[in-house]
Amino acid sequence: MAETTISTAAARRSFFGRFNLEVRGHMPMGQQMLVVAAGIMLGLLISAMLLVVSGVKPSGLVNEFVVAIFTSRRNVAAVLSYAAPLTVVGLAAALAFKARFWNIGLEGQVILGAIGATLVANHDFGPPALRLVIMALAAMAAGILWIGLPLFLKIKLQVNEIISTLLMNYIAFNLLLHLLYGPWKDPQSAFPNSKLFDDVERLMPIGWQNLNLALPIAVLLVLMAAWLLGMSRYGFLLNFVHANARMARALGIRIVGLTLLFALASGALAGFGGFIISTGIESRLTQSFFVGYGFSGILIAFLARNNPFAVAFFAILVAVLMVAGQSLQVFYQIPFAMVQLIQAIIVICVAASEFFIHYRLRMVE
Amino acid sequence: MDFVVNWLANVPGFAVPFALAALGLIICEKAGVLNLGAEGYMLVGAMAGAGVMLSLDVHPLAALAVSALAAGLLSLLFALLVIALRVNQVISGLVIVFFAQGLTALIATSQGWTNRAFSGLQDLNFGVLSSLPGVGRIVFQQDLMVYLTIVIFAVVVHVLRATHVGMRLRAVGENPEAADAAGVPVGWYRTGAVVVGCMLIGLAGGYLSVAVSKIWVDGMSGGRGWIAIALVIFARWQPWPALAGAVLFGCIEALIPRMAAIGLQLPQYFVLMLPYVVTLAVMVWTSLSANRRSGQPAALGQPFVREERR
């Protein structure tokens, strides 16, 4: 392994005092995974300590996170039903990040996707047999619409997409509130909900617990994303562009076209995620159906380093946190915000642990 | 006329959070650290301020000081990530926002601070001046922070432009290699800029809860941190234009409750979209105007690793 050090560096004081920072050469994949796993364990440990401080008994922790979840079919099903939309949104994030387009507007695209699907459901567009397909297409179109504007501004005017996609979240949320408190409010409900979807507008159950088609669809999407990133020519070209952008440009690869393809796919997937949540979990539009999915999607893609299979793995991890968080809320009055906090802690620990993949500290002689 | 006076009298209160947050961001970014966590520091500041007001019997200014300190404390975590551990600054900034959202909701809920009103910072009274028609309401009936904000701006501008520390700080953001070669401790300057900048952002958040709404609600900063980031780009990293931008957004935000008060029948939620739509428009306008990149610190967002020099 090649390490680069510069002799003069030792002469001046390092930021780390008596330690010098060295850049590592490449670390083998197995070792890298060990480092990341250590980061995750550290994050979970800190989170566990936080929960104990908040009044959960250590035995209760084991009970809620391990025993309750893996010994009850109902809880396994609950974890999987959350994991499906989390996977879809995580894949949406991964596709955009892979193309170096910081799509922080997943939440807005999820909201728009659900709005698109509900629009179709409210007006009963199309024959009942095709209703779900039309709803899914409308959701994807709405997601594309919502990423389209920031994407256009980024490509044509170099407007920073981090901020523009984020602003679109707030616009989408206000649009949702407008619909739910106004034209789409179900008169029979005391809450700002849309009316319940008809039976043909809900995802079919697959015959085990309360799971529905969302799960196999999510698995299929993982495989499709893996093919797109790993085996298709677009994935290959994208890797090539990141390895050597100047060479890629000289060879006439249309970098803008690639960004466009992956970012639009990201918007479509996020919109599809909104479709899955509204038809598969809530069966209607509510003012908080999307909470947590957008942000979790971003964190999942980061933890998974944009690898579709790892996205599915971390989506399940986050789903476990969500299910355990719900029972902690009921039995220990721990606010549900704890789930978001734990996710952030895990990501911080993993991000920090990556330091040891890229650098090493060596004591100054 | 009454409408205009009522409207303009409310502008400073809405402008101060944008102004202070933008100023804090400018300090961070001048030192080369891209800080996307503004929304998070505002939340922490707002919650800390509200918590102090609800649980201790102290002057609101003390609560604001705690706001700044709380955000400064959180910024140490951010500094550890991006300056010591060289983690990607985009991811670090975002994760700080998620962390702060979770943390503030958790603490406020478990302490029972949510949705409890308190008496916050009151407006000053300058006697005769305050009762002048029109001008009195707009200029002489504001709270202390409104006037202090202008002082803070003047101090920061002076430090950045005319002192040794400010010069070194800008050097660290423009060309860390050269600054390092000249003996400037790059990491420490960046850490200092992040902590001071984030304290100002926390102060902006504290102002939201302690002086404006006088209540804590989960997620109450409502995207103002992100708007402040856009404002900094709009102002090309210069403090006074950032203040002008903050006043512009203060005007828009102050207009929203005024329109409802005079009985204008507008779809409420479309009106609430206004600040975000205007921010997008401002970003488009900024990028359309000539030399859009001018003013951006050259090393913005790049971690400094001395040992990686080529």
- Tens digits of residue pLDDT in B4-50: 888 888 899 999 999 999 999 999 999 999 999 999 999 999 999 99
Classify A313 as helix, strand or coil: helix
Our CA-based measurement puts residue A157 at a distance from the nearest CA of chain B, in whole angstroms, of: 6
A167–B280 CB contact, under 8 Å: yes
Find the CB nearest B103 among A158, A178, A341.
A341
Domain ranges of chain B: 2-288
Q: Is there a contact between B269 and A167 if contact means CB atoms under 8 Å apart?
A: no
Are B37 and B96 a contacting pair, CB within 8 Å?
yes
Q: Which residues of B touch A104 (CB under 8 A)?
A: 94
Q: Tell me, which fold does domain B2-288 have in CATH?
A: ABC transporter involved in vitamin B12 uptake, BtuC (1.10.3470)
Residues of B in contact with A14 (CB under 8 A): 306
Q: pLDDT tens track of chain A, all 365 residues? A: 344 444 444 445 667 777 777 777 778 888 888 998 999 999 999 999 988 888 888 888 887 777 878 788 888 999 999 999 999 999 999 999 999 899 999 999 999 999 999 999 999 888 888 999 999 999 999 999 999 999 999 999 888 899 999 999 999 999 999 999 988 988 888 888 888 888 888 888 887 888 888 899 999 999 999 999 988 888 888 888 877 778 888 888 888 888 999 999 999 999 999 999 999 888 889 888 888 898 899 999 999 999 999 999 999 999 999 988 888 888 888 888 888 999 999 999 999 998 888 888 777 66
Q: What is the mean pLDDT of residues B84-99?
A: 91
A240-270 in b/e form (b: 16+ CB < 10 A) is bbeeeeeebeeeebebeebbbbbbbbbbbbb
Reported as a single tens digit per residue, the pLDDT across B182-240 is: 989 999 999 999 999 999 999 999 999 999 999 999 989 989 999 999 999 889 999 99
Single-letter amino acid code for the residue at A317: L
Q: Which residues of A touch B249 (CB under 8 A)?
A: none
Distance from CA of B280 to the nearest CA of A (A): 6
- What was the pLDDT predicted at A11? 45
Quick check: A170 and B276 CB within 8 A?
yes
Smallest CA–CA distance, residue A296 to chain B, in Å, is: 9
Give the count of beta carbons closer than 10 Å to the beta carbon of residue A101: 22
In a mutagenesis test of the B interface, which of A102, A153, A161, A167 is the best target, namely the one with the most B β-carbons within 10 Å?
Answer: A167
CB contact under 8 A, A21 and B90: no
Q: What's chain B's average pLDDT?
A: 90
Q: Rounded to an integer, what distance in angstroms lies between the CA atom of residue B17 and that of residue B225?
A: 9
Residue B304's Cα: distance from chain center in Å? Answer: 25
What's the pTM? 0.90
Q: What is the torsional sign of CA B81, B86, B90, B91?
A: negative
Measured in angstroms, the CA of B226 and the nearest CA of chain A are apart by: 7
Determine whether the interchain pair A337/B273 forms a contact, defined as Cβ–Cβ distance below 8 Å: no
Q: Which residues of B touch A341 (CB under 8 A)?
A: 99, 102-103, 106
Nearest by Cα to A134 from A67, A200, A185: A200
d(CA A3, CA A22): 7
Measure in Å the smallest separation between the Cα of B139 and chain A Cα atoms: 32
User: pLDDT at position B290, please?
Assistant: 63
Chain A residues within an 8 Å CB radius of B305: 21, 23, 359
This complex has an ipTM of 0.89
CA dist., res. A178 & res. A175, Å (int): 5
Is A171 in Cβ contact with B105 (below 8 Å)? no
For residue A343, the chain B residues in CB contact (below 8 A) are: 98, 102
Taking each continuous run of H as one helix and of E as one strand, the counts in chain A are: 16, 2
Per residue in B262-280, pLDDT (tens digit) is 777 778 888 889 899 999 9
